[in-house]
Amino acid sequence: MQELWNSKFSRDGFLYGTDANSFIKENTHLIEKGSRVLCLGEGEGRNAIFLTKKGLHVEALDASDIGLRKLQSRALESDIAITIRHTLIENWEPAHKYDAIISTFMHLKREEQKDMFIKAIDALSENGYFIAEFFSVDQINFLSGGPKDTTLLYQIDELYQLFSTLPCTIHKLSQEIVTLDEGRGHKGEASVIKIILKRWM
């Protein structure tokens, strides 16, 4: 997975642009200023940069050292501080409790998806939020980006069953058709799953 993303991020420019994901932007109000936030699978840093500029203490984790170097360069140019962690998501062990964890379009095998969600909810502080947008299995029918391997896509019914067993309240879990305009990597109509979970203990 590291080689795949290093290959993608080694090209000039930013694969998914420099603007934060719109769903993350729409829900930043849920996270209090000064909160500790973890960005999972953060790539080149578009969400992390945005959240840091909003007054949040951000840690960005990704498998691609090339993507993280691009993030670090942008952070230095903007004179902001972001903690960077270079690791595969399946090797991630939370070092802290976070007030929020965010993720967009992370590609994980189905069995790794479950482990990630369990660890993410466990890593949240009480009343902390998990906010994410991922490609649904129906994205296989669209040409706007994302993997062409259905085992790397997400199934809403499986997510509902999993989240119902975790110590969280489901504030949003919906599959929607949206129009993406995120750099050259995500363009056009897409089938996504939007998630907002709130830890309750």
pLDDT tens digit sequence for 32-84: 999 999 999 999 899 999 999 999 999 999 999 889 999 999 999 999 999 99
To the question of pTM greater than 0.75 for the whole model, the response is yes
Question: In this structure, how many other beta carbons lie within 10 angstroms of the beta carbon of residue 79?
Answer: 6
- How high is the pLDDT of residue 132? 98
The segments of the chain whose pLDDT lies below 70 read 1-2, 4-9
d(CA 155, CA 41): 19
Enclosing domain of residue 194: 2-89+96-199
Cα distance between the two ends of the chain: 33
Residue at token pair 């967009």: 104
CATH of the domain at 133: 3.40.50.150
Mean residue pLDDT of the chain comes to 93
For β-strands 57-62 and 83-86, DSSP reports them as: parallel
- How high is the pLDDT of residue 189? 98
The total number of structural domains that make up the chain = 1
